[in-house]
């Protein structure tokens, strides 16, 4: 069992809680008080971790998490990220140079209001900075006690090999769901098994497409989910997968999202669930289903 993340179960993802018209991610309106209560509900329901990032509303999600933490004596491990830097014109760039990593992490620590961040992950690869330099910068922050451990987000197996040669990789995260199964074939899931590193699955419900009652037409006209490939080129496959999930959910007397999350947990992945209300958070943190062989949805 990983000493930071613990047993395989769901964690809370805060990208939707950081939704902001000012960018960079817009999921529609998100009430601030409801967002704080969602974090508290997830922790109370036994979330394995809280995953956030400066990129989520350019600090909004981290401030929400920090506000929640100030209301409770103890909490689940807090994971944030570094390396995606906002430019003055509102665009962003990947910069994992040592100076940028340090500045990013210290700013996150202030927004979260903690003395030490449990885990900091490099958000995305930076083609201009060797992973070894970025990893050395994170290892320095670990040694200083600013960070508890370090992880990687959206890095391929080759980059993960190079990082772990410098220092420990505590967590890895990639997109993984019934509609996005690349980790099964691109080597990232196998790498985590080989190195005994927890695999965190972001967008485990395909940005809502695998939840009950999801209605693309009801989304805000500028909601980012309207541009996802599930909504365009792969429309038939989502319908087929959702129908299969609904069949399993009916037999199990539960929801399609519960089945989809349990499917990931059965494969050893920790789903990062982007709940937006306290009830959604509590529902996401339910114990995984004991799925039988016939409950598993086919790969195609």
Q: Quickly state the pLDDT bin for 238 (edges 50, 70, 90).
A: confident
Query: Backbone phi, then psi, for 150, in 5-degree steps?
Result: -130, 150
Query: Contact, 275 vs 38, CB < 8 A?
Result: yes
Query: Contact, 199 vs 167, CB < 8 A?
Result: no
How much is the average pLDDT of 20-47? 92
Give pLDDT tens digits for 124-170.
999 999 999 999 999 999 999 999 999 999 999 999 999 999 999 99
Torsion of CA 193, 194, 198, 199, to 10 degrees: -60
Of 60, 66, 58, nearest to 39 by C-alpha is 66
How much is the average pLDDT of 204-225? 72
Query: Contact, 238 vs 209, CB < 8 A?
Result: yes
Of 39, 59, 41, nearest to 50 by C-alpha is 39
The count of other CB atoms within 10 Å of the CB of residue 272 is: 28
pLDDT at res. 232: 56
Query: Contact, 15 vs 153, CB < 8 A?
Result: no
Which residues are known to be catalytic? 56
Rounded to whole angstroms, the Cα distance separating 212 from 146 reads: 41
Pairing type for strands 92-94 and 171-175 reads unpaired
- DSSP characters for 199-244? EEEESTTGGGTTSTT--GGGS-TT-GGGGSGGGTTTSHHHHHHHHH
pLDDT at res. 230: 57
Task: Evaluate if residue 233 carries a pLDDT over 50.
Answer: no
DSSP assigned state of 287: P
Give pLDDT tens digits for 242-275.
888 999 999 999 999 999 999 999 999 999 999 9
- What are the residue ranges of helices labelled H in 2-156? 32-44, 60-69, 98-112, 131-144
Task: Evaluate if residue 214 carries a pLDDT over 80.
Answer: no
Number of H helices, E strands in the chain: 9, 10
With b meaning 16 or more CB within 10 Å and e meaning fewer, what string describes 163-186? bbebbebbbbbbbbbbbbeebeee
Query: Contact, 95 vs 83, CB < 8 A?
Result: yes
Sign of the Cα torsion 36, 38, 44, 48 reads negative
How much is the average pLDDT of 188-213? 92
Q: Work out the mean pLDDT of the chain and round it to a whole number.
A: 91
> CA dist 46 to 58, 163, 208, Å?
27, 31, 22
């Amino acid at each position: 069992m990983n000493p930071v993340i613990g047993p395989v179960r769901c964690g809370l993802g805060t990208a939707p809680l950081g939704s902001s018209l000012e960018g960079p991610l817009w999921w529609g309106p998100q009430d601030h008080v409801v967002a704080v209560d969602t974090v508290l509900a997830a922790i109370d329901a036994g979330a394995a971790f809280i995953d956030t990032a400066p990129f989520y509303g350019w600090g909004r999600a981290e401030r929400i998490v920090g506000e929640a933490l100030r209301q409770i004596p103890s909490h689940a491990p807090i994971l944030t990220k570094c390396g995606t830097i906002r430019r003055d014109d509102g665009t962003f760039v990947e910069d994992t140079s040592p100076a940028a990593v340090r500045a990013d992490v210290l700013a996150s620590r202030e927004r979260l209001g903690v003395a030490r961040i449990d885990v900091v992950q490099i958000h995305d690869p930076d083609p201009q900075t060797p992973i070894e330099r970025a990893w050395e910068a994170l290892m320095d922050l670990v040694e200083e006690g600013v960070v508890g451990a370090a992880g990687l987000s959206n890095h391929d197996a080759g980059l993960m090999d190079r990082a772990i040669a410098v220092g420990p990789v505590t967590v890895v995260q990639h997109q993984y769901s019934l509609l996005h199964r690349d980790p099964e074939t691109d080597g990232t899931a196998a790498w985590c098994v080989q190195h005994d590193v927890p695999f965190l699955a972001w967008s485990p419900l395909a940005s809502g497409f695998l939840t009950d009652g999801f209605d693309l037409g009801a989304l805000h006209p500028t909601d980012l989910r309207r541009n996802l490939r599930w909504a365009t080129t792969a429309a038939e496959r989502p319908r087929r997968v959702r129908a299969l999930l609904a069949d399993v959910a009916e037999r199990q007397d539960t929801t399609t999202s519960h089945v989809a999350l349990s499917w990931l947990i059965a494969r050893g992945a920790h789903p990062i669930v982007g709940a937006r209300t306290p009830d959604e958070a509590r529902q996401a943190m339910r114990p995984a289903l004991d799925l039988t062989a016939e409950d598993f949805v086919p790969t195609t």
